[in-house]
Structure 1
Amino acid sequence: MSERASWRAVREEILNRPGAGAAYEAARIRFELGEAVRLRREALGMTQAQLAAATGTQQPAVARFEAGGTMPTIMILERYAEALGMRLTVELEPLEQAS
């Protein structure tokens, strides 16, 4: 019977493939942005439909974004921030300083 690889080993092997690190990072950013919007929307007691109306989008677009399925433009992120009473901050930092 063969030994199964640990999740850590499988993840490391996948991330070592060409382009995988960039794709993983893009997915992480999408997920974190969507989660931040969802948490703020829920804290304000807003529905996805209400947020969609406030941003000029449709409810399914809000749902996809909150689930990390899409990467909106800066302009759309600004609309989300305004509708949620937040300030959008975009930052670039050297990789050696990034966590």
Structure 2
Amino acid sequence: MSDRTEWDRLREEILEHPEARASYEATRVRFELGRAVRARREELGMSQTQLARVAGLRQPAVARFEAGGTMPTLPLLERLAVALGMRLHVGFEPLDKAG
């Protein structure tokens, strides 16, 4: 059995526990939001400092957000969206269709 297969099996065993699953999902959401903001910021050629200034934040807050280190509020997401020239869209999707 490869190391990767062993890790995948262990991960699935751990995620069978509801507390672990909830923590994993919260982390996944933070990571995906941070990745999306960073991608758009880079697409616009903005630095973290520039984004922070436009959004009314400080650069370390943008860095933490992009790294998935914080769970943002909806008002913060709206500020970032406006600063990135975007509109925030929040929605729900069935779990069987989620990635």
- TM-score, normalized by length of structure 1? 0.88
Q: Calculate the aligned-residue CA RMSD, in Å.
A: 1.5
Query: Which protein has the larger Cα radius of gyration, Structure 1 or Structure 2?
Result: 1
Give the structure 1 partner of residue 59 of structure 2. 59
Q: Structure 2 CA distance, aligned partners of 1:98 and 1:48? A: 30
Q: Percent identity?
A: 65
Q: Structure 1 CA distance, aligned partners of 2:38 and 2:77? A: 13
The alignment of Structure 1 onto Structure 2 pairs a total of residues equal to 96
Give the structure 2 partner of residue 87 of structure 1. 87
Greater helix share, structure number = 2
Give the structure 2 partner of residue 38 of structure 1. 38
C-alpha deviation, 1:96, in angstroms: 4.2
- In structure 1, runs of 5+ residues without a counterpart are none
- TM-score, normalized by length of structure 2? 0.88
- In structure 2, runs of 5+ residues without a counterpart are none
